[in-house]
Amino acid sequence: MQNRVQQFISWNIFPVFLFTGLVGCITPGNLPVNDPAANAPSANNNSAPAKKPAEGNLSREEIEGVIRANLGQIKACYERSLQTNPNLKGRIMTSFEIGANGKVSRSEIANSTLNHQPTEQCVAQSIRRWQFPIPRGGGNVRVTYPFTLGPK
């Protein structure tokens, strides 16, 4: 089992934005980054936007870089769970907020098909420890980010 986990961990961690639809690996997902233009009312509609516009700004690359640098923490959460449940697999949709100082001020599981609370809590807690660049323009950056986890 340990050898299988080590092989899985070392060879099958790929970002979804490069290899969409992989099964049998931990994959960070497509990154919905705050886009103030997307939240602005259209020219034909004078109503207020459905969501508050982004206050701070970080590029997709900046956010994905921090996520990639910290994937080991997500792998560790999953690897611990695989020891007791070798068939554990699913997708965890995380939602977190990066504060004006670049620290994660809030992290939670928005949705999960993993149905394994210890792994989900570990992932959310790991994200809370991440440090991002300070957002341009001040304010917070809200991020929703999926991870797909599954044994090979």
Kindly state whether residue 44 falls inside one of the protein's structural domains: no
Mean pLDDT of 131-141: 93
Strands in 27-28's sheet, in edge-to-edge order, are 27-28, 141-149, 90-98, 104-112
Contacts of 109 (CB under 8 A, 6+ apart): 92, 93, 94, 95, 120, 121, 123, 124
Residue 48 within a domain: no
Contact call for residues 131 and 83 (beta carbons, < 8 A) = no
Say what the pTM is.
0.67
Question: Which residue's structure tokens are 């970080």?
Answer: 58
Does the pLDDT of residue 152 top 60, yes or no? Answer: yes
Q: Kindly state whether residue 38 falls inside one of the protein's structural domains.
A: no
Does residue 37 fall inside a structural domain?
A: no
39: helix, strand or coil: helix
Identity of the amino acid at 150: G
Which CATH number do you get for residue 27? Answer: 3.30.1150
Share of the chain above pLDDT 90, in %: 59
105 closest CA partner among 129, 123, 74, 77: 129
45 occurs within a structural domain: no
Residue 49 belongs to a domain = no
Tokens of 134: 């300070």
Tokens of 82: 């695989």
- CA dist 136 and 139 (Å) reads 8
**How confident is residue 55, by pLDDT bands cut at 50, 70 and 90?**
low
In a domain, 12, yes or no: yes
Nearest to 86 by CA among 11, 29, 24, 12: 24
Q: What tens digit of pLDDT does each residue of 74-107 get?
A: 999 999 999 999 999 999 999 999 999 999 999 9
Structural domain of 26 = 2-32+54-149
Q: Where are the beta strands (DSSP E) in 65-135?
A: 90-98, 104-112
Q: How many domains does the chain have?
A: 1
Domain presence at residue 6: yes
Average of per-residue pLDDT across 25-45: 42
